[in-house]
Amino acid sequence: MSNPLRILLAEDSEDDALLLMRHLRKGGYDPIYRQVESASAMRAALEENDWDIVISDYQMPQFSGLDALSIFSKSGLEIPFIVVSGTIGEELAVEAMRAGAHDYLMKDNLARLLPAIQRELREAHIRRDRKKSEQTLIESEQQYRILFESSPEAIVIIGLNGEIIDCNPAVESLTGLKRYELISQPVTTLDLDLLKKAANDDYLPYFTNLLSDQKTARFEAKLRHLHGDTRWLEIHLANLNREGKQWAIQAIMRDITERKSTEEVLQNFAERLTILHEVDKAILSARSAEKITQAALHHVRMLIPYLVAGVTIIDSETNEPDLLAAYHNENLIDETGFPFNMIYEIPEVMSVLENSAPFIIEDTAAHPRMRAHLHELGLENINTLLNIPLIFQGELIGFMIFGAENATVFGGEQIDIAYELALQLAIAIQQARLHEAIAYHAIELEVRVEERTAELQAANERLVALSRAKDEFVSNVSHELRTPLTSLLMRQNLLARTPENLTKHLKVMDRETMRLKYMLEDLLRLSRLDQGRTQLEPIRFDLNNLIVQYLEDRMLLAQENKLNLSYECSESILTTQADYGLMEQVLGILVNNAINYTPEGGSIVVRTFKRVESEEAFVCFSIRDTGPGITEDELSQLFERFYRGKAGRKSQVPGTGLGLAIAKEVIDRHNGHIHVESEGIEGKGTTFTVCLPAYAR
C-alpha cells in the first residue's frame, strides 16, 4: 500500500519534477504535488493547502531556492524543506542550511532522496511533538486538561507505584478498555510487549532505566487491543516533576502501524535489490550454462516463491527442448521429474512466448496429459504455471517456467522479476555456450591426439595385464581345486581302514565330488555373473543347517591342519531364500581361506545370528579365525579379482585371487552384503560377516 505524501515543489523543469515523483513512487510513496515557479505562487500554495514537505530547486529563472526558503520560514510551518539542485555548490549548500533548509542533495544523486525525506518527516514529527510538550508545560492546568482530553494521541500518566493515575479518551480507542477500567490498575493492564520485560512487576526501575538520565525517552512497542489485533506504537516517556521532584511518568503513545508497514515495504524493496545483486554475482561466477541456470533459480526463489521451476533451451539443430536445470522446492531435479517441457507442444503458449510476452496457465487441469504427468510425479499441487520467454537478439531461444499452487503467487512484481531475470539469463547462457564452443574447437585436435595416444597406451597395458593375469591364474588355479581333492583322498584312505563306515564316507565323498564340480565352474559362473546370464535358483532353507552340514564335512580337514574348527548356531530358525549351491560356495570360500591362513594350534569359529539394519531383518553368519589378519591398506582391495594380500603371498598358499570376488558377487546378487574386520595383528586374525535378507512369511 502506497504512503500518500503531499509535496509543494518549487521547480521550473517539468521533466525534473516528473523524475522526482517517479523516484518517490518507486520508494513506496503516493506523491500529491503542486509545482510553483514564483514567489506569489508559493505564498498562495502555502496558504491554501497543508503540505507534508517542501522540495525546492536552488536556481530558477524567476525564482530561487533562498527566496522559497524565506517565504517558507515566514509561514511558520513545521514541515521539512529540502533543496534538490543540479548546480548548488558547497558554499551555497551551507548558506541554504543556515537559512533554514533541513537538507540538500544533488539531482544526479537521488539515492539519498528517500532516506532524507523519511528522516526529515520523522524529525518534523518529533519537532511538532516537542513543541506541543513545551506548550503544555507553560499552559494552565485547565488548558493542559483540555489538551489532555482532546489529544488524538493516547496519553497515560503512570504513578511511581506502577499504577495508572490517568489516561485520555484516545487510550480507550487504542486499547478497547474504558478509562474507569484502567485508572488505579497496574500498568500491565496495557498489553504492551515491552512491559513483559520488567522483572517481578518492579516497573519504576524499569521505566527509570528506559528514561536513563534523559527527561524523555522514545521507543517503539507492540500493543494488543482488547479484541486481539496488534498495533505498533511510538511511545514517548517523560518524567513529571513537582517542585523539583518526580511524581509520575507520562507516556504518549502514537499509532505508527501504517508507518511500520511502509518501512516493511521499503525493507522488502531493499532485500529485493540485494537478492537480485546476489543473482547477478552468482551468474557472473558460474561458467557453464547449467551452473548459471542453477544459480539463478536457486537465488530467485527468495523473490518468487515457486514450488517447481526450470529453464529449457530449444536446441538449434534438432529444434527440440533441452532442460538446463530444474528445482523442486530447494532440490535439483532431472528432466524425468520436470514435466513442463511439454509446454513446447502447446501452440497457444509458444505463440505468445515467441512474441516476447509471458504466459500464465492458471489451471493445469485444462491440459489433461500434463495433469496426468503431474499426478504421476507427485506434483498434483502444481495448478498454475508462469511461462517466461528467453529472448536473444530477437529470437526465442528457450523458456523459463515457474509452478505454484495458485495464480496469486505470480503478481505483477513477480512477473517483472522473472522477466528481468530471463533477459539476464538469455545473454549469460548464450555467452557461456559461445565460450564453451570456442574452447572446444581450440582444444579439439589436441584432445583427439591425447585420446588416441591414451587408447593405444591403455590397450597395451590391458594386454600386459591380461597376459600377467593369465600366467598367474594358470599357475595358481589349483588353489580352488586342491581342497576338495585332498578331502576325497583322506576319505578314500579312511574308507580303506574303516570299511564299516562305507555309507558315511561315500556320502562325504559324493558331496566333495559335487563341490569339485562347482569349483571348476567358478570361472564360468563369474563370467555369467558379469554378463547377467546367471539364473538364481532360490529356495527357502535354514542357514543353521547349511553351516552344520558344511562344517561337519570339513572337521577332518581342520584336524589334519591341527586347527580347532567349531560353530555356534543361533537357537532361532534363520530362514532365508537364496540359491543353496551358491551359498555353499560362498561358505566354502571363506572357511577354506580361514583353514589355509590360520597357523597350527589356531581356532576358527563360525556363528549364526539375526540382525536388523534400517528396519530390515537379515540372517547372518560370521567366520572368525586367529590367523595373521589383514592390514588396513589391503581391506579396500580384498574383493578385487586376482588380488592376493601379503598373508597369501607370504604363506605361499596357492590361489587364484578369485574366491572373495566370487563370494561378494554372489552375495550382492542376493541383495545381501559381506563385511570384513581385521586389525592386521598376528594372532587376532580376521572376521568375515555375511548377511542375507531374512525370509518374510
In the chain, the number of structural domains is 4
Confidence band of 551 (pLDDT split at 50, 70, 90) = very high
Range 101-123 burial, b when 16+ CB lie within 10 A, else e: bbbbbebeebeebbebbbebbee
Identify residue 63 by its one-letter amino acid code.
F
Question: Which range has the worst mean pLDDT, 31-40, 71-80, 460-469, 517-526?
Answer: 517-526
Distance CA 223, CA 228 (A): 10
Whether 189 contacts 174, CB under 8 Å:
no
- Cα 296 from chain centroid? 14
13 and 73 both lie in a single domain: yes
Question: Which range has the worst mean pLDDT, 171-185, 194-208, 488-502?
Answer: 194-208
3-state secondary structure 442-458: HHHHHHHHHHHHHHHHH
What cell does 45 get? 500554495
- Which of 79, 104, 132 corresponds to the end of one domain? 132
pLDDT at 649: 65
The stretches of 212-340 forming alpha helices (DSSP H) are: 257-285, 289-300
Average pLDDT over residues 442-447: 75
126 and 152 both lie in a single domain: no
Establish if 470 belongs to a structural domain: no
CATH number at residue 424: 3.30.450.40
Q: Are strands 321-328 and 331-333 parallel, antiparallel or unpaired?
A: antiparallel
Task: Give the DSSP letter string of 316-366.
Answer: TTT--EEEEEEEETTEEE-GGG-GGGGGGG-HHHHHHHHTT--EEES-GGG
Establish if 448 belongs to a structural domain: no
User: For residue 684, which phi and psi values (nearest 5 degrees)?
Assistant: -85, -20
What's 307's DSSP letter?
S
The percent of residues in the chain predicted with pLDDT above 90, rounded, is 14
Establish if 535 belongs to a structural domain: yes
pLDDT at 639: 84
For residue 269, pLDDT beyond 60: yes
Whether 308 contacts 326, CB under 8 Å:
yes
Distance CA 355, CA 61 (A): 48
Distance CA 164, CA 174 (A): 15
Distance CA 621, CA 668 (A): 15
245 and 297 both lie in a single domain: no
For residue 244, pLDDT beyond 80: no
Question: Which range has the worst mean pLDDT, 46-60, 444-458, 650-664?
Answer: 650-664
Q: What are the angstrom distances between the C-alpha of 562 and each of 427, 598, 601?
A: 79, 10, 6
Distance CA 424, CA 392 (A): 10
Distance CA 236, CA 218 (A): 5
pLDDT at 214: 59
405 and 490 both lie in a single domain: no
Average pLDDT over residues 249-265: 86
The dihedral formed by the CA atoms of 625, 627, 632 and 633, expressed in degrees to the nearest 10: -130
Whether 669 contacts 534, CB under 8 Å:
yes
Distance CA 476, CA 641 (A): 13
- Which of 132, 164, 192 corresponds to the end of one domain? 132
Identify residue 470 by its one-letter amino acid code.
K
The percent of residues in the chain predicted with pLDDT above 70, rounded, is 86
For the ranges 183-192, 461-470, 541-550, the one whose mean pLDDT is highest: 541-550
Establish if 483 belongs to a structural domain: yes
33 and 60 both lie in a single domain: yes
Average pLDDT over residues 572-598: 90
Distance CA 292, CA 263 (A): 33
Whether 440 contacts 425, CB under 8 Å:
no
CATH number at residue 175: 3.30.450.20
Establish if 219 belongs to a structural domain: yes
Distance CA 305, CA 414 (A): 9
pLDDT at 418: 85
What cell does 663 get? 563370494
For the ranges 58-72, 85-99, 102-116, 598-612, the one whose mean pLDDT is highest: 598-612
Question: Which range has the worst mean pLDDT, 448-452, 512-516, 543-547?
Answer: 512-516
The pTM for the full model equals 0.34
Distance CA 248, CA 159 (A): 5
Distance CA 215, CA 353 (A): 65
The dihedral formed by the CA atoms of 351, 353, 354 and 356, expressed in degrees to the nearest 10: 140
609 and 634 both lie in a single domain: yes
* Residue 565: partners with Cβ closer than 8 Å, 6 or more residues away: 551, 554, 555, 558, 559, 591, 595, 603, 604, 606
Q: Are strands 686-693 and 164-167 parallel, antiparallel or unpaired?
A: unpaired
Q: Which long-range contacts (CB under 8 A, 24 or more apart) does 26-31 make?
A: 26/269, 27/113, 27/114, 27/266, 27/269, 28/2, 28/3, 28/262, 28/265, 28/266, 28/269, 29/2, 29/3, 29/4, 29/5, 29/117, 30/2, 30/3, 30/4, 30/5, 31/5, 31/7
* Residue 194: partners with Cβ closer than 8 Å, 6 or more residues away: 219, 221
* Residue at grid coordinates 517523560: 238
For residue 536, pLDDT beyond 50: yes
CATH number at residue 68: 3.40.50.2300
Q: What is the mean pLDDT of the chain?
A: 82
Whether 335 contacts 395, CB under 8 Å:
no
* Residue at grid coordinates 508507518: 259
534 and 668 both lie in a single domain: yes
Establish if 473 belongs to a structural domain: no
Establish if 462 belongs to a structural domain: no
124 and 230 both lie in a single domain: no
484 and 565 both lie in a single domain: yes
Nearest to 387 by CA among 310, 321, 294: 310
Whether 177 contacts 188, CB under 8 Å:
no
What cell does 413 get? 512484481
Average pLDDT over residues 24-45: 89
Distance CA 574, CA 553 (A): 21
pLDDT at 481: 64
| pLDDT per position as a tens digit, 284-325 | 776 788 888 888 888 888 888 888 888 888 887 788 888 888
* Residue 393: partners with Cβ closer than 8 Å, 6 or more residues away: none
pLDDT at 494: 80
624 and 582 both lie in a single domain: yes
Whether 177 contacts 226, CB under 8 Å:
yes
Distance CA 598, CA 589 (A): 14
Distance CA 664, CA 658 (A): 10
Whether 231 contacts 223, CB under 8 Å:
yes
Establish if 457 belongs to a structural domain: no
Confidence band of 199 (pLDDT split at 50, 70, 90) = very low
283 and 388 both lie in a single domain: yes
Q: What are the angstrom distances between the C-alpha of 429 and each of 174, 307, 324, 435, 615?
A: 56, 23, 10, 10, 46
Distance CA 536, CA 672 (A): 14
The stretches of 35-112 forming alpha helices (DSSP H) are: 39-48, 65-75, 90-98
Q: What are the angstrom distances between the C-alpha of 332 and each of 82, 287, 297?
A: 51, 18, 10
What's 383's DSSP letter?
-
CATH number at residue 592: 3.30.565.10
pLDDT at 200: 47
Distance CA 321, CA 418 (A): 20
For residue 270, pLDDT beyond 50: yes
Q: What are the angstrom distances between the C-alpha of 689 and each of 551, 554, 576, 673, 676?
A: 16, 19, 16, 8, 6
- Which of 403, 437, 471 corresponds to the end of one domain? 437
What's 522's DSSP letter?
H
For residue 602, pLDDT beyond 60: yes
pLDDT at 465: 58
245 and 272 both lie in a single domain: no
Domain span including residue 312 = 266-437
